[in-house]
Copies of this chain bind each other. A is one copy, B any other.
Amino acid sequence: MPSRPLNDYISVDCVIFGYNGQELQVLLVDRTLTNNSTGQPEFTDLTLTGNHIYEDETIEQAAYRVLFDLTGLKNVFLDQFKTFAHPDRLKKENDRRWLIHDGRDPDKRIVSIGYFALLATQNITLEWKGRNVKWVPVSEVGELAFDHNQILEEALIALRNKIKQEPIGFELLPEKFSLTQLQNIYEVILSTELDKRNFRKKIARMKYLIPTDEKQTGVAHKPARLYVFSREVYEKTKKELFDFTV
């Protein structure tokens, strides 16, 4: 089990994206302080989730640990997208928000290795005891502490690039999902609208989306057929795509 931090200066930050069937969300830690005498919040303060890397684990293991501690999930899509440094941290020494993180000296939190994770938010119960975490729609995220707005922005760029290249949309959905749900994922992430018939024709060419015999239940309209993603078929058929941009 993890013991000592590898290094006080290095952490992983996880941009945990969730999808509730409507919109893309991100999991944030609320570090709002309440003034002891007035009972009013002294200031509100939100951050991404993150932690140190322990000396007996890889960076990736640290990122999975952060995820597991929060969600209890182990098989989550995770992608390292960029590493950030804060050489200008000294300029911020009067910014109170840099001084309370974890009670540690924030000056030491210099390098953060950014991961983004994808998960379906239904039937997830958040588990980080002693922390106040919540889902916030990406479109409604306000000012975050540290440079976390920048990290979130870069995570979104990485997510958009990734989804254009690999079929990762289903990672935001339950195991069985409808094609309309999948289409909505692409529309939300790429901020575009897609034609339903063309989308389904494209899917039909991909062999790794397998129709099941199940249908939606309890919906007040024609129930959609449910599909599953077959990683096995995907790995077999993904054969390098050699098209390129000159």
Contacts and interface: CB of A to CB of B under 8 A. Distances in A.
A206 B163 CA distance: 24
A83 B85 CA distance: 12
B87 A164 contact: no
Nearest to A56: B87
A56 to B, nearest CB: 6
Interface residues of A, number: 41
Interface in A140-176: 161, 163-167, 169
B53 A85 contact: yes
A165 B165 CA distance: 10
Interface string A88-120: 000000000000000000000011010000000
A7 interface: yes
A246 B209 contact: yes
A80 B114 CA distance: 12
B6 A7 contact: no
A203 interface: yes
B58 A165 contact: no
A7 B58 contact: no
Interface string A160-202: 0101111101000000000000100010001010000001001
A66 interface: no
Contact of A244 (B59, B110, B186): B186
Contact of A245 (B7, B82, B165, B242): B165
Nearest to A238: B245
B163 A244 contact: yes
Contact of A80 (B58, B82, B161, B164): B82
A68 interface: no
Interface of A: 6-7, 9-10, 53, 55-59, 80, 82-85, 87, 110-111, 113, 161, 163-167, 169, 182, 186, 190, 192, 199, 202-203, 206, 209, 241-246
8 tightest A-B CB contacts, nearest first? A83-B83, A164-B244, A59-B85, A7-B9, A203-B246, A83-B113, A206-B246, A202-B246
